A and B are shown apart, each in its own frame.
Chain A
Amino acid sequence: MAETSGYNFAYLDEQTKRMIRRALLKAIAVPGYQVPFASREMPMPYGWGTGGIQVTASIVGRDDVLKVIDQGADDTTNAVSIRKFFKRTAGIETTTQTHEANIIQTRHRIPEEDLRADQIMVFQVPIPEPLRFLEPRETETRKMHALEEYGLMHVKLYEDISQHGHIATTYAYPVAVKQRYVMDPSPIPKFDNPKINRSPALMLFGAGREKRIYAVPPFTDVHSLDFEDFPFEIQTWREACALCGATGSFLDEIVTDDAGGRMFVCSDTDFCEKRREAGHAGPALAAEGAV
């Protein structure tokens, strides 16, 4: 694809990249702490991943290979759009294969495949403040973080259990990073939370509209908040993936007709394709093959 002329490599000017890199370094030095940064207007709207895009633009080099996913899939419209943006403005190589990429920008998922130490995850974050829905004021929440005053969050989780018998948070499930800062892992399903814990990959989080950057360095303890008698647990499905037969992956529900028909397939499209290439087949494909 033709590179867009008239703009710097990866769109942002070098001064802006330097400013963002400084914020990133600070974020890595203080895991889980939200670093304010002078987020720029990007040529796509706030809410479309401008934070993640700015982080990626600041760390990407000419030899990097980029993968972009949204909802776990490489071919969702916004993932396509962001991948195209970096192809145009940086002329870099992109891929849909997790193991080929060294930068993976994501919205709402972490790939199923284990990440490596030479990979960086970049998360798009809508609301970086895990306490925001308990306390709308930034002046207050910053104070609460500074004083490590997380009682409100534990009370909320406790109330969930006493009212519903469960912690009723299924995505953007709060974590404690290195026994210090409570952090929003971005709206990934809680299914993905364990993947952040002691991951060999660097995890960077960018919130453009809210102008915050935070990070989890490699091999950092990340604990999903819970109680001794109500330990954290992830979602499970009774079904296997209809296409590849996987049982341990996050499944999306696809409605197939208006009479209650539905099937479940892996949300991670690369993972699912790899398994099918390796000869695995789920019920839907097995049935087709049998015909």
Chain B
Amino acid sequence: MYVPVKGGERAIENAHKLLAEERRGNRDTPDLDVAQIDEQLALAVDRVMTEGSLYDRELAALAIKQARGDLIEAAFLLRAFRTTLARFGYSIPIDTGQMVVRRRISATYKDLPGGQVLGPTFDYTHRLIDFSLLEGADPENLEEGESDMGVTPHVLNILDREGLMEPANGSSGAQERGEDGEVHVGDLTREPLEFPADRDIRLQRLARGDEGFLLALGYSTQRGYGRNHPFAGELRLGEVRVGFVPEELGFEIEIAEITVTECEMVNQFKGSKNVSPQFTRGYGLTFGHCERKAMSMALVDRALRAKELDEEVEAPGQDEEFVLAHADNVEATGFVEHLKLPHYVDFQSELELVRRMRAEIEAAKVRNGDAEQIEAAE
């Protein structure tokens, strides 16, 4: 009789078995190899690494396999693993100016030092389904060419030299420095998010944030909600070295080479009482190849600088608490999906109240009805 909430433990175990079975699918189809995911679903891996905040292609690919292709679930798996890892220290900031560039475009100059390099891009492809892929057709082999690319300078530095562009660390140029004079960079994974947040924390939050959410917010700033006309000053994709100074060595060693996408937006700025008109920056950086995310992040970063630049804060994209509190998809999906958990105690409380209030209204109606009848009789 009283069974609906009994047997939770066995139900959970059976559900997990069923999930494993569904994940595997039809056993006549070969099991998916993690290397295949890494190689052939590389952009999914890139997104999961970025939002999971952990640079490990194999683990991200494994998470995608385990999550049955649910990328938010995969990012969550990666985050839950990441949080258990020991923290040895902080790397030296990567120098994207030293990037070995595979793709680099600027929408603000026709040509520039280092040139425009299209690289591997969906841009200019015609979005026609390629049925030859059904048959597993391999693309033609490419000849290996000689790279003549040296170091590619940042586009925005060209403007900077003329004083038309604000410095990279913002118009104020102020950065928090510790007692040792070093620049202190916040870390959301070690300290709770507090408002108002500084730009370092904002950028970290955006970098971990959901691509879809940032895309929609960035889009909204283009459509007049906090309008601030942006130009894609530069978008670059390539490999950078990660340096680290172990305390026991005392000098820098290279610990990794990682792929990143970087976007620098150039935005107009009319100037304020203290600052003459110049261009301002919005910045986006992701692991792997995540152009859409990097661009959206740059738009939102710039929008969130409204207060710093004395602009009116009037649109969702400029609203720091709104954006930062809701950008994290692991948090968001948890809270939305927790509605699946039982809430019957709270619901019972509401039921009781609604029934009581309805009963009181009914009783009042009866009373009023009686009064009217009496009046009519009189």
Given A45-B334, A73-B5, 9 further pairs, Cβ under 8 A: A39-B192, A45-B338, A47-B336, A48-B334, A77-B342, A126-B338, A164-B357, A237-B352, A267-B345
Scoring B1, B189, B336 by chain A CB atoms within 10 A of each residue's CB, the highest score goes to B1
Residues of A60-83 contacting chain B, CB below 8 A:
70-73, 75-81
**What is the predominant secondary structure among interface residues of chain B facing chain A?**
helix
- Inter-chain contacts of A164 with B (CB < 8 A): 357
- Inter-chain contacts of A46 with B (CB < 8 A): 330-331, 333-335, 338
A274 to chain B, nearest CB (A): 16
A43 touches B80 (CB 8 A): yes
- Inter-chain contacts of B4 with A (CB < 8 A): 254
Can you list 14 pairs linking A and B with CB atoms under 8 Å apart?
Answer: A13-B84, A39-B192, A41-B79, A46-B330, A47-B336, A48-B338, A84-B9, A108-B343, A108-B346, A137-B195, A138-B321, A139-B195, A171-B346, A250-B345
* Count class of interface residues, chain A: 35 or more
A252 touches B345 (CB 8 A): yes
Query: What is the total of A-B residue contacts with beta carbons within 8 Å?
Result: 142
B192 touches A109 (CB 8 A): no
Known: A39-B192, A79-B8. A171 touches B345 (CB 8 A): yes
Known: A47-B338, A126-B335, A170-B352. A138 touches B345 (CB 8 A): no
Known: A77-B8, A189-B346, A252-B345. A139 touches B196 (CB 8 A): yes
State the 3 A-B residue pairs at the shortest beta-carbon distance, nearest first. Answer: A47-B338, A46-B334, A170-B349
0 or 1 for each of A22-51: is its CB under 8 Å from B? (1 = yes): 000000000000001111111101111010
B341 touches A78 (CB 8 A): yes
- Count residues on chain B whose CB falls below 8 Å from chain A CBs: 50
Q: Does B122 reach chain A (CB closer than 8 Å)?
A: no
- Inter-chain contacts of A165 with B (CB < 8 A): 357, 360
> In the complex, what distance in Å separates the CA atom of A136 from the CA atom of B325?
11
Q: Does A284 reach chain B (CB closer than 8 Å)?
A: yes
- Inter-chain contacts of B79 with A (CB < 8 A): 41
A246 to chain B, nearest CB (A): 15
> In the complex, what distance in Å separates the CA atom of A48 from the CA atom of B321?
24
Q: Does B6 reach chain A (CB closer than 8 Å)?
A: yes
Q: Does B76 reach chain A (CB closer than 8 Å)?
A: yes
> Which B-chain residue is minimally distant from A78 (CB atoms)?
B341
A253 touches B348 (CB 8 A): yes
> Which A-chain residue is minimally distant from B10 (CB atoms)?
A80
Q: Does B88 reach chain A (CB closer than 8 Å)?
A: no
> Which A-chain residue is minimally distant from B52 (CB atoms)?
A41
Q: Does A168 reach chain B (CB closer than 8 Å)?
A: yes
A131 to chain B, nearest CB (A): 14
A195 to chain B, nearest CB (A): 14
B333 to chain A, nearest CB (A): 7
- Inter-chain contacts of A256 with B (CB < 8 A): 1
B360 touches A76 (CB 8 A): no
B6 touches A75 (CB 8 A): yes
Known: A36-B192, A38-B191, A253-B351. A80 touches B12 (CB 8 A): yes
> Which B-chain residue is minimally distant from A250 (CB atoms)?
B345
A209 touches B192 (CB 8 A): no
B357 touches A45 (CB 8 A): no
Residues of B340-378 contacting chain A, CB below 8 A:
341-346, 348-353, 356-357, 360
0 or 1 for each of A164-194: is its CB under 8 Å from B? (1 = yes): 1110101110000000000000011111000
A189 to chain B, nearest CB (A): 4
0 or 1 for each of B265-289: is its CB under 8 Å from A? (1 = yes): 0000000000000000000000000
